[in-house]
Amino acid sequence: MAVITRSSSSTVISTTPQRFPAKLTNRISSSSVSFPSSSSSVRGRVGWNSSNRMDNKTMKKSVVASAAAGSEVVPAQKLADADALIDSVETFIFDCDGVIWKGDSLIEGVPETLELLRSKGKRLVFVTNNSTKSRKQYGKKFETLGLSVNEEEIFASSFAAAAYLQSIDFPKDKKIYVIGEEGILIELELAGFSYLGGPEDGGKKIELKPGFYMEHDENVGAVVVGFDRYFNYYKVQYGTLCIRENPGCLFLATNRDAVTHLTDAQEWAGGGSMVGALVGSTAREPLTVGKPSTFMMDYLANKFGITKSQICMVGDRLDTDILFGQNGGCKTLLVLSGVTSLSMLQNPNNSIQPDFYTNKISDFLSLKAATV
């Protein structure tokens, strides 16, 4: 969870890792999410129960205290020797938006760069906070852009939401209200959960008349909020009622990204804007399953048997991608082809510094040639 302080000239982000039990990801299969039913450590720490509430005040105090006690920030180095970085790790985890593509446009040099890394025997994994698609749908997008990527190599926050709910033994007789798009619905269905909401509620309106009372399903045990182009007041009110009035109702966010790349022409309001509406109406903070939380990193490390120090996280966002890698103990590389500019990175008030930065991932090609 991040605490963000803004001034007229800068944004300061202070944060601590969101910790998940080590056993959460031990037995997730490629087509479903299955965890040991006897994992008492999971249920004991984050399990679902009828009085489940997050202690937000305690969490915020911890974050602020950690920021105050922060150590000296070491500035990022401009990547000069791509071969040295490539040879130092086994796996590259790539963010997608702003790194591989922008909107529906492939960023120049990406196919050649991925081919280079594969030729060197590197494992490639693609992790996105965008929850609008399922892993299978993202596989089709990669294919459309001319990239050969296996579904097993793709991890979206839509999948992370379903995986988290199974990891805490969320009751199958409870329902999940979704403020988000099809990707979340598909992954919840694959995991065997019942849901309502999603795009279907996009056209619903509330006619406020004297004495009007809005009903909601009292059997909803979790509200999952992700990016939603069909976001409306009906969804805000329905989700709010579930979270505030249903005992123990969980509040999950797939991500809290401020902006996203719907097109390559400009930045658009991201999933954090939808989550923010529910934070305001419920006075509660969600548990975030996407970057920068450690949930997906723990999952990946366990699934592929990777030592985290042998991973390099490549992304365009400081407060999600780079923090995700740092929270997981990985090497980090910031690319300036997306959200973050060089001036933002080098702002004296920015406390999140990657190990390296470069303009785009295809710099692996030119920097390799320069060092021959």
Nearest one of 243, 136, 237 to 187, comparing CA atoms: 136
**Going by C-beta distance under 8 Å and a sequence separation of 6 or more, which residues neighbour residue 270?**
227, 255, 257, 258, 259, 260
Q: Is 357 helix (H, G, I), strand (E, B) or coil?
A: strand
What residue type is 275 in one-letter code? V
User: Residue 79, class by beta-carbon neighbours within 10 Å (0-12 exposed, 13-18 middle, 19+ buried)?
Assistant: buried
**Which residue matches tokens 């097993």?**
152
CA gap 174, 281 in Å, rounded: 23
Q: For 95-144, where are the E strands, in sequence order?
A: 101-102, 105-106, 123-128
Instruction: Output the DSSP codes for 308-333.
Output: GGGEEEEES-IIIIIHHHHHTT-EEE
Q: For 273-315, where are the E strands, in sequence order?
A: 287-288, 311-315
DSSP state of 106: E
Instruction: Tell me how many degrees the CA angle 275-126-285 measures, rounded to the nearest 5.
Output: 20
Return the active site residues. Answer: 90
Nearest one of 70, 76, 74, 57 to 14, comparing CA atoms: 70
